[in-house]
Amino acid sequence: MVSDTIRGLLILQDRFDKVAGLEAEISRLPQEIQKLEQKITDEEAHLDGTIKELKELEVRRKDLELEVESAEAQIGRYKNQQLEVKKNEEYRALTHEIELTEEKISDLETRELEIMEAMDEKNAELDELKVEVQKQVDYQRKLIGECEHKLENLKAELSSANSAFDEQKSTVGEADFRLFEGLSRRVKRPPYIVELTGQNCGGCHMRVSNDVLKKAKMGEITYCDQCSRLVYFDS
C-alpha cells in the first residue's frame, strides 16, 4: 500500500519535475533566440557580400574607363606629334603607336563591356536576394518574437510552479523534505521515487530483493538495491 509519506513525496516529486522542466526550457530559449539572431546576421552578411561584389565591379569598370580616357588622350598627343615631325620614319612610328593604343582601347572596352554585363547580372541577383533576405529576416524575427513571448509565459509558469513546490514542501514536513533532497543528490537522474512492477524497480528495472519487496508492500520507506531510488508498492 502507499503510505501518506510516499503519497506526499510523489506529489513533491511531480512539482519538482515541473520546476526542473520549466527551468530547462527557460535556459534553452535564449540559446534558441541567439541562433535565430545569428541566422539574421548570416542573411544580412550574404546580402552585404553581394553588394560588395557589385561595388568592386563598379570600381573595376571606372578604372577601365579611366584607362580608356588616358589612352584616347595619348592618341591625341601622338596625332599632334605627327603634325610636327618631318621624317617619314617618325611619322610611321607614331602611326604604329596610335594603332597599338587603339588596340589597347579596344581590349579595354571589351573588358569594360564584360564587366557591365556582369554588373547587370549581379544587379538582377541582388534584387532577388534583397527580397529573399527580407523574407528570411522577417521570418526569423517572427520566431524570435514567439520565443520571447514564450519565455515570458514560462517565467510566469515557473513562478507558480515554485510556489506550488514550496507549498508541498511545507506540507510534507522538514524530515520528509530532507529525505527527498537526499534522494535527489544520491540518485543519478529522476525519477527518485518509483513504483515496483512485480519485483522490479520502476527506475532501473532491476529486480529488488525479497526484503525490499516485503518492506515496500508494508508501506515502509525502502530503497532499490541497485539504483538507491525510493521504491513503493501500490497494491
What pLDDT score was predicted for residue 39? 97
Looking at the predicted structure, is the pLDDT value of residue 103 above 80?
A: yes
Report if residue 10 sits inside a domain.
Answer: no
Report if residue 186 sits inside a domain.
Answer: no
Average pLDDT for residues 189-210, to the nearest whole number? 96
Cell (9 digits) for 18: 515541473
Summary mean pLDDT of the chain: 95
What pLDDT score was predicted for residue 48? 97
Average pLDDT for residues 70-95, to the nearest whole number? 94
What pLDDT score was predicted for residue 86? 87
Q: What is the pLDDT of residues 23-61, one digit of tens each?
A: 999 999 999 999 999 999 999 999 999 999 999 999 999
Looking at the predicted structure, is the pLDDT value of residue 167 above 90?
A: yes
Looking at the predicted structure, is the pLDDT value of residue 214 above 70?
A: yes
Report if residue 226 sits inside a domain.
Answer: no
Report if residue 8 sits inside a domain.
Answer: no
Q: Are 220 and 212 in contact (CB under 8 A)?
A: no
Number of domains, the chain:
1
Looking at the predicted structure, is the pLDDT value of residue 166 above 90?
A: yes
CATH number of the domain bearing residue 75: 1.10.287.1490
pTM of the model: 0.74
Looking at the predicted structure, is the pLDDT value of residue 2 above 90?
A: no
Establish whether the linkage from the previous residue to 191 is cis, with ω within 30° of 0: yes
Helices (H) and strands (E) in the chain, counts: 4, 3
Average pLDDT for residues 121-138, to the nearest whole number? 96
Strand partners, 197: 200
Report if residue 140 sits inside a domain.
Answer: yes
Rounded Cα gap, residues 32 and 28, in angstroms: 6
Report if residue 180 sits inside a domain.
Answer: no
Report if residue 198 sits inside a domain.
Answer: no
Q: What is the pLDDT of residues 168-178, one digit of tens each?
A: 999 999 999 99
Domain limits at 66? Answer: 15-172
Cell (9 digits) for 52: 560588395
Report if residue 217 sits inside a domain.
Answer: no
What pLDDT score was predicted for residue 1? 64
pLDDT band at 235 (very low <50, low <70, confident <90, very high): confident
Rounded Cα gap, residues 140 and 134, in angstroms: 10
Q: Are 196 and 170 in contact (CB under 8 A)?
A: no
